C-alpha cells in the first residue's frame, strides 16, 4: 500500500491520497514552501522536504554566461537531493520565463506580450509556448511563472509590456500560450483539473490574480477600484480561459481590490477561484507577497502567514527564510489557527501538479533537448512573431506616396539612434536580468545587423548613433532609419507618469528627419508621447514594441518581403492627461491612434 504513490499505473487521485497519508506535518509544510536557489542547501531540500526551488533573476549582468547545460546540471543536483529525502518527492524548479527562457544565455528571446497582442494570432502564440517549453526543459526547468494575463488599462503601469492588451477579448485569445506550454488537453478533460502533456512540457502559471492591470493611474502593486461585476468581466475572464486549458498554477497579485490585498483575499481565492471557477491546481504567492499583508512590511509574520494560507494560498514564495516560515506555520496548525484540512488541501493540489507533470517518473533533465536551445526553427518562429507584431502607424507624408517598403538597392542608408545596435534594448526587461540591460547581453541580431543583411551589396550602410547636422550634410543619404525607445525596466521600476521618449530620442529624430527622409522605429513596452510636430517630420513610423533577439523580423517587413499585419493592442493616447479620462470602450479623448489601428502597404489602413 505504501508504494501506491510510486506506481504510475495507479490513478493520480489514489497516488495523492496514499502519499498524503504517509507524510508528516513537517513534510507537508515543506511541500508548501518555495525557496530561492541561493539558499537551496542539501539540508534545506532533504531535511525540510522543500516542495519547490526557483531562481530570482540577477539585478545586473555578470561575466559568467550560464548556458542551458549549466542550468540542467544545477537543477538536476537539487532534484537528486530531493529524491534522497524520506519519501523521495521531487521538487518543482520554477523561473520567470516570460518571453522565452529569458534568464539563460543563448536562448531564443521572443517579443514581449504587448507585441504578441498586436499579432492577434492565437495559433502563433501557442507555437511560441511550445518552443519555450522545449528550451526550458532542456535547461532542467519544470515550471514558468507565465503567462501574465493582465488586462492593462493604463500604459503608465511598469508591467504594461507583460500584458497582451487593454482589451479583455484580445487577452482571452492570447491565453493559447497556456496550451502551448502545457499541451492541449483532450475534449473530455475535467473542468478545472490541471493538465501537462508529458515530460517535455512545462507547468504554466496564469498571473497575477486578479485586476493587476487595472490599478489607479497604473501604479504597480496599487489598488484596483471596481465593482465585482466589472472585475469579473474585465480582469477575471482570461483566467476562465486558462483554467479551461488546464493551467496548473495561478499566482496571486501584489495589488489590492477595493483596498484589500489580494494575498489575503479569502473571497476571491477560495470562494471564486477555487469554488466557483473550480480550479484544482495550486495557488502560489508572489515573491514575499504574503509579507505585504503587514505594515510595516512583514512586521507580524505570523499574521501574514495565517491570513495568506487561510485565504487559499497553497505554495508560498518565501524565498529566503524557509525555516522561520515553516516554524510559524507549524505553530499555527498546532494551535488550530490554520486548520489541518487547509494544509492537506494545499498539499493535495501541489502533489496533483507534480504527478500530472510526471515528475515522479521523469525527475531529471532530458539532455537530448539541448539541441533545441536557440535553434534555427525557434529563431525563425521568433522572427515570424516580430514580423506579425509590427504596427505601421504612418507611411508617407503624402498618402499617395508611401515611403515603405524601403529600397534595398539605395545608394547610402543612415542607421542611427540608441536602439539601432543594441540587443539588450531590443529585448527589454526580464532578459538575463530582472530589469534588463543594454548591450550584447545574449545572442541575437540587432536592427543594424538586419539592415546590413537585407540590403544589396552595392548599398552602403552607415551607422552613427548620435549624428550631427554637419555629419548629415557632409553625406548624401537616400534615407535614414532611426531606432529609438525606452531603456529596459521591470515592475515598479517601469512605472512612468510622463511616458516621454528618453535618451533625447525626439532630438535625434528632429536632426535626422530635418535633412533626410526618415523611418522611425520605436522600441518600447507601451505607447509613448508623440508630439504632432515630431510625427509630421518623419516619413514613416513603426511601433516595434520589444521584439527580442530576432531583428531581421523588422527588416523583413520594412523592406517589403512581408506586409504589415500588426494592429494596436492598446489605444495610443495624445497626452498623458487623457489617460485619466479614458472610458472603457469609448475613444472619448480623441486618441492619436485607436485600439486596432494599423496600416498596411497594400491599402490605406486596416482595423480589426
- A 10 A CB-CB count for 58 gives 15
The grid coordinates of residue 109 equal 528571446
Single out the residue of 140, 125, 143, 138 nearest to residue 51, CA to CA. 143
CA distances from 479 to 36, 400, 410, 467 (A): 50, 18, 8, 14
The distance from CA 115 to its chain's CA centroid, rounded to whole angstroms, is 11
Single out the residue of 533, 603, 585 nearest to residue 594, CA to CA. 585
**Annotation marks residue 498 as catalytic:** no
Given a contact cutoff of 8 angstroms between Cβ atoms, the answer to whether 118 and 171 are in contact is no
Report the distance separating Cα 155 and Cα 159, nearest Å.
8
Report the distance separating Cα 329 and Cα 73, nearest Å.
32
Single out the residue of 195, 197, 152 nearest to residue 174, CA to CA. 152
User: Mapping DSSP to helix (H, G, I), strand (E, B) and coil, where does residue 17 land?
Assistant: helix
Length of the chain: 608
Query: What is the dihedral sign for C-alpha 36, 284, 13, 365?
Result: negative
Given a contact cutoff of 8 angstroms between Cβ atoms, the answer to whether 174 and 116 are in contact is yes
The grid coordinates of residue 350 equal 501541489
Phi, psi dihedrals of residue 251, rounded to the nearest 5°: -100, 140
User: Mapping DSSP to helix (H, G, I), strand (E, B) and coil, where does residue 598 land?
Assistant: strand
Report DSSP state, residue 502: -
**Annotation marks residue 491 as catalytic:** yes
DSSP string, 71-134: HHHHHHHHHHHHHTSSS-PPPEEEE--SSSSTTSTTS--PPPHHHHHHHT-HHHHHHHHHHHHH
Report the distance separating Cα 175 and Cα 573, nearest Å.
26
Interior/surface letters 335-348, b for 16+ CB within 10 angstroms, e for the rest:
eeebeeebbebbbb
Active-site choice (121, 154, 286, 348): 286
> How many degrees, rounded to 5, is the angle at CA 503 between CA 500 and CA 505?
65
Active-site choice (27, 491, 495, 556): 491
> How many degrees, rounded to 5, is the angle at CA 84 between CA 79 and CA 89?
65
Could you list the active site residues? 286, 491
Amino acid at each position: 500500500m505504501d508504494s501506491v504513490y510510486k506506481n504510475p499505473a495507479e490513478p493520480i487521485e489514489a497516488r495523492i491520497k496514499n502519499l498524503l497519508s504517509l507524510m508528516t506535518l513537517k513534510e507537508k509544510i515543506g511541500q508548501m514552501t518555495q525557496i530561492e536557489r541561493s539558499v537551496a542547501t542539501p539540508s534545506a531540500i532533504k531535511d525540510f522536504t522543500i516542495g519547490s526551488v526557483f531562481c530570482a533573476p540577477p539585478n545586473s549582468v555578470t561575466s559568467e554566461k550560464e548556458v542551458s547545460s549549466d542550468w540542467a546540471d544545477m537543477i538536476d543536483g537539487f532534484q537528486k537531493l530531493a529524491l534522497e529525502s524520506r519519501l523521495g518527492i521531487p521538487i518543482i524548479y520554477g523561473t520567470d520565463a516570460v518571453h522565452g527562457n529569458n534568464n539563460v544565455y543563448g536562448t531564443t528571446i521572443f517579443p514581449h506580450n504587448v507585441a504578441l497582442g498586436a499579432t492577434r494570432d492565437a495559433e502563433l502564440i501557442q507555437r511560441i509556448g511550445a518552443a519555450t517549453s522545449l528550451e526550458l526543459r532542456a535547461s532542467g526547468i519544470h515550471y514558468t511563472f507565465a503567462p501574465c494575463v493582465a488586462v492593462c488599462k493604463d500604459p503608465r503601469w511598469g508591467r504594461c509590456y507583460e500584458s497582451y492588451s487593454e482589451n479583455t477579448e484580445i487577452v482571452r485569445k492570447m491565453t493559447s500560450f497556456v496550451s502551448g506550454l502545457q499541451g492541449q488537453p483532450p475534449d473530455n478533460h475535467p473542468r478545472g483539473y490541471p493538465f501537462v502533456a508529458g515530460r517535455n512540457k512545462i507547468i504554466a502559471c496564469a498571473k497575477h490574480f486578479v485586476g493587476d492591470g487595472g490599478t489607479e493611474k497604473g501604479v504597480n502593486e496599487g489598488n484596483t477600484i471596481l465593482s465585482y461585476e466589472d472585475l469579473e468581466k474585465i480582469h477575471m475572464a482570461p483566467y476562465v480561459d486558462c483554467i479551461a486549458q488546464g493551467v496548473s498554477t495561478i499566482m496571486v497579485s501584489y495589488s489590492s481590490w477595493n483596498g484589500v490585498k489580494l494575498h489575503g483575499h479569502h473571497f476571491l481565492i477560495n470562494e471564486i477561484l477555487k469554488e466557483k471557477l473550480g480550479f484544482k491546481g495550486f495557488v502560489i504567492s508572489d515573491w514575499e507577497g504574503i509579507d505585504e499583508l503587514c505594515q510595516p512590511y512583514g512586521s507580524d509574520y505570523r499574521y501574514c502567514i495565517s491570513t495568506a494560507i487561510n485565504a487559499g494560498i497553497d505554495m508560498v514564495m518565501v524565498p529566503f527564510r524557509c525555516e522561520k516560515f515553516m516554524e510559524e506555520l507549524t505553530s499555527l496548525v498546532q494551535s488550530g489557527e490554520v486548520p489541518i484540512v487547509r494544509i492537506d488541501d494545499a498539499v493535495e493540489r501541489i502533489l496533483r501538479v507534480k504527478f500530472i507533470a510526471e515528475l515522479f517518473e521523469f525527475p531529471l533533465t532530458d539532455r537530448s533537448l539541448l539541441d533545441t536551445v536557440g535553434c534555427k526553427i525557434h529563431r525563425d518562429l521568433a522572427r515570424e512573431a516580430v514580423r506579425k507584431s509590427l504596427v505601421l502607424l504612418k507611411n508617407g507624408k503624402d498618402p499617395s506616396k508611401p515611403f515603405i517598403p524601403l529600397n534595398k538597392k539605395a545608394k547610402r542608408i543612415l542607421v542611427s539612434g540608441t536602439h539601432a545596435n543594441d540587443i539588450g534594448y531590443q529585448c527589454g526587461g526580464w532578459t538575463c536580468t530582472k530589469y534588463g540591460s543594454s548591450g550584447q547581453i545574449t545572442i541575437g541580431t540587432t536592427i543594424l545587423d538586419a539592415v546590413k543583411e537585407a540590403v544589396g551589396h552595392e548599398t552602403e550602410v552607415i551607422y552613427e548613433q548620435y549624428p550631427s547636422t554637419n555629419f548629415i550634410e557632409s553625406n548624401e543619404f537616400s534615407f535614414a532609419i532611426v531606432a529609438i525607445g525606452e531603456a529596459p525596466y521591470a515592475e515598479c521600476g517601469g512605472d512612468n507618469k510622463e511616458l516621454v521618449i528618453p535618451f533625447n530620442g525626439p532630438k535625434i529624430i528632429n536632426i535626422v528627419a530635418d535633412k533626410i527622409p526618415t523611418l522611425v522605429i520605436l522600441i518600447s513596452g507601451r505607447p509613448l508621447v508623440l508630439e504632432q510636430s515630431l510625427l509630421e517630420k518623419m516619413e514613416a513610423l513603426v511601433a516595434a514594441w520589444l521584439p527580442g533577439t530576432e531583428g531581421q523580423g523588422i527588416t523583413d517587413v520594412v523592406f517589403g518581403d512581408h506586409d504589415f499585419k500588426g494592429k494596436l493592442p492598446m489605444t495610443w493616447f495624445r497626452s498623458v492627461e487623457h489617460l485619466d479620462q479614458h472610458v472603457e470602450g469609448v475613444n472619448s479623448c480623441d486618441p492619436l491612434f485607436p485600439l486596432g489601428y494599423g496600416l498596411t502597404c497594400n491599402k490605406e489602413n486596416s482595423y480589426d
